[in-house]
C-alpha cells in the first residue's frame, strides 16, 4: 500500500528532523501519497505520529532494550550502551523517542500516551537491569536502583541528543563514560 510507504517516509522525516516541524503536507509530497489517503489510513496527524513512533520502537529502540536484557555484567553492558548512544549510525540524527518526549506538549493525545508508555517501559528496563547488577554486587553502594535507572535513562538521552546536535562521537563517548562511571562499584577511575 502507498500508506505503508508514507509511514516509512514519515518515520525518517520525523526522526531526522524535528517531529513538530514536519507537516502532513510535506510527508504527502515526499511520499507521493494524497492527503485523503493518508488520513483514511491514520485518521489524523496524531495517528500518523503514533504509528511512526510504534514502528520506531520496534525498529530501533528494541535494540537498546535487547542490550539490557542480554544479561551481561555491569561494565560490559554500560559499554554497549555507550557504544549504542555515541556511535551507532542510526542514532546519528538523534532518537525519535527523546525528541518527542522533549516536545511532548506539541503532540496529540495518542502519541503522547505512547511516549509515556515507552518512558515507563524504558525506566522499568533500566531498573530491572540495575537491580540484577546490584544483586550481583556490581552497583555502587548506597545507590537507589530507582534513581540510578532514571539517571541512566537521562544520560543516554542526553548523549544521543548531543550527538544529534553535532557533537563528535568521541566527545559524546567521553562525557558518557564520565557520567556512567559513577554507577560502578569500584568508583570510576578517570577516563583517558
Partner DNA sequence: GGAGTAAAATACCGAATGGTATAAAAATGA
Partner DNA sequence: TCATTTTTATACCATTCGGTATTTTACTCC
Interface positions with a second copy (CB under 8 A)? 18, 20-21, 102-103, 105-106, 140-143, 147, 150-151, 154-155, 158, 162, 171, 174-175, 178-179, 181-182, 187-192
17 binds DNA (CB under 7 A): no
Which residue carries 537498546 as its cell?
64
Q: How far apart are the first and last CA of the chain?
A: 52
| C-alpha cell recorded at residue 146 | 530507582
Rounded distance between C-alpha atoms, residue 131 and residue 139, angstroms: 9
Of 76 and 154, which CB lies nearer to a second copy in the complex structure? 154
Judge whether 32 and 41 are in contact, CB under 8 Å: no
Of 47 and 169, which CB lies nearer to DNA in the complex structure? 47
Helix (H) or strand (E) holding 187: none
Which option in a second copy, DNA, none does residue 154 bind, with CB closer than 5 to 8 A by kind?
a second copy
Which option in DNA, a second copy, none does residue 34 bind, with CB closer than 5 to 8 A by kind?
DNA
CB of 34 to DNA, least distance (A): 3
Task: Give residues with Cβ within 8 angstroms of 78, minimum separation 6.
Answer: 180, 183, 184
Q: What residues from 39 to 78 belong to the interface with DNA (CB under 7 A)?
A: 39-40, 44-46
CB of 59 to DNA, least distance (A): 23
Judge whether 14 and 22 are in contact, CB under 8 Å: yes
Of 51 and 139, which CB lies nearer to a second copy in the complex structure? 139
Relative orientation angle of helices 74-87 and 62-69, to the nearest 10 degrees: 160
Binding site for DNA (CB under 7 A): 1-2, 23-26, 33-37, 39-40, 44-46
Amino acid at each position: 500500500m502507498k500508506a505503508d510507504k508514507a509511514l516509512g517516509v514519515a518515520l525518517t522525516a520525523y526522526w531526522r528532523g524535528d517531529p513538530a516541524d514536519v507537516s502532513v503536507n510535506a510527508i504527502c509530497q515526499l511520499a507521493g501519497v494524497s492527503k485523503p489517503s493518508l488520513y483514511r489510513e491514520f485518521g489524523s496527524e496524531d495517528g500518523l505520529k503514533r504509528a511512526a513512533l510504534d514502528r520506531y520502537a520496534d525498529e530501533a529502540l528494541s535494540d537498546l532494550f535487547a542490550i539490557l536484557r542480554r544479561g551481561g555484567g555491569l561494565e560490559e553492558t554500560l559499554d554497549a550502551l555507550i557504544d549504542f548512544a555515541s556511535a551507532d549510525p542510526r542514532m546519528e540524527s538523534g532518537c525519535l523517542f527523546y525528541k518527542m518526549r522533549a516536545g511532548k506538549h506539541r503532540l496529540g493525545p495518542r502519541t503522547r500516551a505512547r511516549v509515556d508508555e515507552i518512558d515507563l517501559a524504558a525506566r522499568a528496563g533500566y531498573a530491572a537491569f540495575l537491580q540484577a547488577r546490584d544483586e550481583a554486587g556490581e552497583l555502587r553502594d548506597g545507590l537507589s536502583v530507582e534513581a540510578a535507572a532514571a539517571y541512566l535513562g537521562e544520560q543516554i538521552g542526553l548523549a544521543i541528543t548531543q550527538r544529534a546536535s553535532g557533537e563528535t562521537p568521541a566527545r559524546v563517548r567521553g562525557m558518557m563514560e564520565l557520567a556512567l562511571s559513577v554507577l560502578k562499584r569500584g568508583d570510576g577511575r578517570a577516563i583517558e
